[in-house]
Structure 1
Amino acid sequence: MRILVTGVGGPTPRSFAASLKKYSTYAEWELFGTDINPYAIGLYKKELFNECFLISSARNPDEYWNDINQIVFEKKIDYAIILPELEVIEWSKRQASGNLPCPSIIPDFNVAKVLIDKSKMTELLEDLKIVPLSVKFHRNQTNFESILEKLSFPFWVRSTSGTSGLGSLKVNNLSELISWIQINPDVDQFMASEYLPGRNLACKLLYWKGNLIRAATAERVSYIMSKVAPSGITGNTSFGRLINEPLLVELTHKALERIFNYCGALAHGFFTADFKEDKNGKPYITEINIRHVAFTQCFAAGGANFAEDTMRLLDNDPQFNISYKMYEFEKNLIFLRDVDEVPILMKEEDLLKKLKS
């Protein structure tokens, strides 16, 4: 099976590729990668990809599609896995016109637009009481009364779009807020949200042609290179737990049903919802990604191979059970990750033994 994986300079596409190569025997995988950056390490990962290509950015659609179409045609690509958000948006536009170069699991264009705009998503879900209290504001705003009428310090501030915690920080007073806006000149729209001190959780849902097929949950505990980000969040988990929490699935499904209905769209695609808990342990959705995230390989190592599930659905595998399943993990199963390292899964008590020795 010949698969195109885009954005291989990022950890998520490489994690998806590793999930197939290391943990799936469904097919003999031939993986082809693309990236827009000639320095992207994934372009040169021969143990993962049969061949990789430098392509034009999706910001230049004509050149981008010329490159993609040529690769699909010349390499006889069966299916594509599109992971950078900008490319997901571009493929969802093309999908709406029924003109994809090869099959791929892509969400509806309007759904993707809503979820990329975190303030719009929050607005649509506000009455369900499953998102934190939030206020959107522009970087040129000088009067912050509208924020302070709704929120009290400390609160969380971040960009309304983008990944890896772009523009994120816990601010404790007005001076910190103003300074943070000034040192993030590339962010036009911010969102202030109530500060949630509890666990940082994730829920993955795979939808196929109107139905929820697979789900799994995890906890992010700490991040790779967390010291380089004032918020401590880099979007790349270094230590996490594979957990079994059906409530997260219920809340994510409820949120996505609202958005699918609002957009008049079929429930279809792969989504990762991020949660933070309040001081009482109640989880709130902070964002929903329209793609896999970087520790997809850790799920696969724990028995929840969403990459294989995706490919079997695309391949119309008659042996694949499309009945809903929430993956359940062994108790106390954790994962450790680092840059350029293969993730390690172990029991948390084994980690504690190391700490005590």
Structure 2
Amino acid sequence: MYKILITGAGSAQTNGVVNCLLEDNEACEIVGVGSDPYDLMFCRAHKRYLIPHSTKPEYKEVFLKILDMEKPDIVHFQHDVEMAIALKFADEIKARGCKLFVPDYETIDTCVYKYKSWKKFKEAGIKVPENLVIKDEADLRKAFNELTDGEQPIWFRPMIIGNAGKGAFVTTDIEEAKENLDNAKGWGNYMAAEYLPGENMTWLSIWDDGELVVAQGRKRGGWAYSSMSTSGVTGITKIGMTYSSPELDEIAINCCKAVATNNRPHGIFGVDLKCDRNGIPNPTEINISRFFATVEFFQKAGLNMPAIFKDLALYGKKPGLSKILNPLADDLLWLRSLDDRPILTTQDKMKAALIDWHNI
């Protein structure tokens, strides 16, 4: 039996990983650590520790103390900013006999800062929306002159990754943009990008020193609680659908290599993309070294990526998959709602289960 310590315990993205590992064939002991006591109550880890937030000065001391007490075989960070902080004392983590299966700090830093990853994508010749850093009102006027035809809105977002589309907004009005930037103290900290009107896609992958181990594509059919967000983006997938495309695979692989040191990705890379008006997927960010919140979707459909990650990190064992690119069938649906378990289904099963008023 192995022991794993997972951070961000109680959050949706960590709970999905915990649930996947509990469904794996190998017995395990899971230690969850998190800074929100109410979130922690929802974590199914065998032990749950309330710890300081990673930005607090006492975080390192408490974190290392728990490692000394629990002696986990592996530590997995489910928040990229926390991982970037913890990697500054990675040697002290490894000295305690804990394995880490993560990219190097430079790769993580590139992905945490959206502008840095956007520059890497662009330098690699990957199709991306044009972006401008908004330092002052002159930059804002330039954005409205260059990034929109007056009908399409402009997408504004913080330059550092924020969960659930935090801080992002879309607008066609320069005065509204100025007011939002004033309120957010966003001058110099925001990017403006040309709006991408097409479908949302993600591509989740695991790499081993430059070798792709497994990857699965997915579409987002909508965001939950979108009306509660200024941008319409909440980061909470309401409808997920398995999806495969050679074009998506090629773009996503190139994105992972573009941000990785020496073009050799290692660990977990989750590429978020949105299609432009011509239907071409454009990368918007990479969620680095963590699984997305709906990773349990893939596990229920037959692809347990956290278990694959664990086998690689602990034993160097790769999965015996017949396909490493998109091993799941297309068009499987994952439906999510507050206060209820998600549903794995298909469009055909939904039609059979529901009475359409057209047929009455």
TM-score by length of 2: 0.89
The structural deviation recorded for 1:201 is: 0.3
The structural deviation recorded for 1:103 is: 0.7
1:299 match: 298
Matched, 1:58 2:54: yes
Q: Structure 1 CA distance, aligned partners of 2:246 and 2:61?
A: 43
Q: Pairwise mapping of residues 101-180 of structure 1 onto structure 2 (< 5 A)? A: 101=96, 102-127=98-123, 128-138=125-135, 140-141=136-137, 144-152=140-148, 153=150, 154-161=153-160, 162-180=162-180
Q: Structure 1 CA distance, aligned partners of 2:323 and 2:198?
A: 29
Residues 23-57 of structure 1 deviation map (CA, whole Å, 9 limit, x = unaligned): x21x11211111112222xx2246x2111001122
Corresponding letter in the other structure for 2:308: D
Structure 1 residues 340 and 243, CA, compared in 2 at 3 Å: closer, same or farther?
Answer: same
2:90 match: 95
Root mean square deviation, CA, Å: 2.4
Q: Structure 2 CA distance, aligned partners of 1:323 and 1:345?
A: 23
Which deviates more from structure 2 when the two are superposed, residues 91-100 or residues 11-20?
Answer: 91-100
2:267 match: 269
Structure 1 residues 279 and 330, CA, compared in 2 at 3 Å: closer, same or farther?
Answer: same
Alignment match of 1:44 (pick from 38, 41, 44): 41
Give me the identity figure in percent.
25
Q: Structure 1 CA distance, aligned partners of 2:267 and 2:302?
A: 20
Q: Structure 1 CA distance, aligned partners of 2:237 and 2:133?
A: 27
Matched, 1:80 2:46: no
Q: Equivalent residue of 1:164, what SS?
A: helix
Corresponding letter in the other structure for 1:75: E
Corresponding letter in the other structure for 2:221: V
Structure 1 residues 318 and 178, CA, compared in 2 at 3 Å: closer, same or farther?
Answer: closer
1:289 match: 287
The structural deviation recorded for 1:96 is: 6.8
1:16 match: 17
Q: Equivalent residue of 1:286, what SS?
A: strand
The structural deviation recorded for 1:318 is: 4.7
Structure 1 residues 302 and 122, CA, compared in 2 at 3 Å: closer, same or farther?
Answer: same
Contact 1:304 1:327 in 2 (8 A): no
Q: Structure 1 CA distance, aligned partners of 2:339 and 2:197?
A: 30
Corresponding letter in the other structure for 1:282: I
Structure 1 residues 230 and 145, CA, compared in 2 at 3 Å: closer, same or farther?
Answer: closer
Q: Equivalent residue of 2:265, what SS?
A: coil
Give aligned pairs, total.
348
Q: Pairwise mapping of residues 184-203 of structure 1 onto structure 2 (< 5 A)? A: 184-185=184-185, 189-203=189-203
Corresponding letter in the other structure for 2:27: E
Which deviates more from structure 2 when the two are superposed, residues 185-194 or residues 89-98?
Answer: 89-98
Structure 1 residues 72 and 104, CA, compared in 2 at 3 Å: closer, same or farther?
Answer: same
Corresponding letter in the other structure for 2:51: I
Contact 2:114 2:285 in 1 (8 A): yes
Contact 2:8 2:34 in 1 (8 A): yes
Which deviates more from structure 2 when the two are superposed, residues 201-210 or residues 313-322?
Answer: 313-322
Corresponding letter in the other structure for 2:50: L
The structural deviation recorded for 1:106 is: 1.6
Corresponding letter in the other structure for 1:107: P
1:28 match: 27
Residues 143-191 of structure 1 deviation map (CA, whole Å, 9 limit, x = unaligned): 5233234311422111111221122222112122112223324785111
Q: Structure 1 CA distance, aligned partners of 2:30 and 2:92?
A: 27
Corresponding letter in the other structure for 1:345: L
Q: Structure 2 CA distance, aligned partners of 1:81 and 1:347?
A: 32
The structural deviation recorded for 1:326 is: 1.4
1:240 match: 240
Contact 1:205 1:270 in 2 (8 A): yes
1:329 match: 328
Residues 193-216 of structure 1 deviation map (CA, whole Å, 9 limit, x = unaligned): 111111000001111123111100
Structure 1 residues 141 and 324, CA, compared in 2 at 3 Å: closer, same or farther?
Answer: farther
The structural deviation recorded for 1:80 is: 1.4
The structural deviation recorded for 1:233 is: 1.1
TM-score by length of 1: 0.89
Q: Structure 2 CA distance, aligned partners of 1:187 and 1:49?
A: 41
